[in-house]
Amino acid sequence: MRGVTIERVVVRRIRWRGPRAFESAAGAWDERESCLLELVDSEGVHGAGEGAPLPGLSPDTIDSCERALRGALRPGMAIASGATMVRAALDALGSTLASTPAARFAAETAYLDLVSRRAGVPLARMLATTFDLPRPSSSAALTSVLDGDTTRWAGALERALGRGLRCVKAKIGNPDWEHEKSALADLRRRAGDQVELRLDANRAWATCSVDELAARLDWCASLAPRWLEEPVAVSVARSEVLDVLDRSRTPIALDESLRWPAGDDQIRPLLARGAARALIVKPTIVGGTSRAVELAKMAMGSGTTSVVSHALEGPIGFAALAELALAIGGSDAAGLDRHPMLAAWPTTCTPHLVENAVLARAHSGIGVSARDVLDAAAR
Using the predicted structure, report yes or no on whether residue 22 has a pLDDT greater than 90.
Answer: no
How high is the pLDDT of residue 142?
98
pLDDT band at 2 (very low <50, low <70, confident <90, very high): low
For the segment 310-315, the average pLDDT, to the nearest whole number, is 96
How high is the pLDDT of residue 1?
32
pLDDT in tens, 203-214: 999 999 999 999
For the segment 295-307, the average pLDDT, to the nearest whole number, is 96
Composition of the chain by helix, strand, coil, percent to 5: 40, 20, 35
For domain 6-130, the CATH architecture is 2-Layer Sandwich (3.30)
pLDDT in tens, 104-157: 999 999 999 999 999 999 999 999 999 999 999 999 999 999 998 999 999 999
User: How many of the other CB atoms lie within 10 Å of CB of 265?
Assistant: 7
Per-domain residue ranges for the chain? 6-130, 139-364
User: How many of the other CB atoms lie within 10 Å of CB of 303?
Assistant: 9
Cis bond upstream, residue 19 (ω within 30):
no
Average pLDDT of every residue of the chain:
95
Least confident span in 11-15, 33-37, 79-83, 91-95: 79-83
Distance CA 35, CA 69 (A): 9
- To the nearest 10°, the Cα dihedral for 352, 354, 357, 360? -30
How high is the pLDDT of residue 378?
84
| CATH no., domain 139-364 | 3.20.20.120
